[in-house]
Amino acid sequence: MKRGFIFSISTLIITATILASAMFVYNLNAVDEAHIGENFSIEKAGFVAEDVISDINAILGTSVDVNRGEQFTRFSFRTKIPADINNNELNNYAAFAVGNYASAQNADINVGVSNLTDGISELVFSNGMQYDYNYITDSTVQVYMPNGDTGFVAIDINVYISGSSVGANAWTWQDATGDINVNLYFTDLNASNTVTYSGKLDSSIENTYSWDYNATTGESFYITIGAIGNDTNAIRLINSINAPGVIASADIGATSVSGSAELSWWYDGNVSYSQKGMEISKSIILGKS
Q: What would the pLDDT profile of 31-72 be if each residue is shown by its tens digit?
A: 444 443 444 344 455 566 677 777 777 776 667 889 999 899
Q: Percentage of the chain with pLDDT > 90? A: 42
d(CA 201, CA 233): 10
CA–CA gap between residue 207 and residue 205 (Å, rounded): 6
Q: Would you say residue 182 has pLDDT above 90?
A: yes
CA dist 103 and 45 (Å) reads: 14
Low-confidence winner among 2-16, 30-44, 102-116 (lowest mean pLDDT): 30-44
Query: Among 256, 198, 201, which residue's Cα sits nearest to residue 226?
Result: 201
pLDDT at 222 over 80: yes
- Report yes or no: 115 and 122 within 8 Å, Cβ to Cβ: yes
Residue 106 pLDDT grade (very low, low, confident, very high; cuts 50, 70, 90): confident
What integer is the mean pLDDT of 136-144?
83
Band (28; pLDDT cuts 50, 70, 90): very low
Q: Number of C-alpha atoms within 13 angstroms, CB side, residue 230? A: 3
For the stretch 110-126, pLDDT in tens is 777 676 666 677 888 99
Question: Where would I find the beta strands (DSSP E) of 240-277?
Answer: 248-257, 264-275
pLDDT of residue 156: 98
pLDDT band at 278 (very low <50, low <70, confident <90, very high): low
Is pLDDT above 60 for 241? Answer: yes
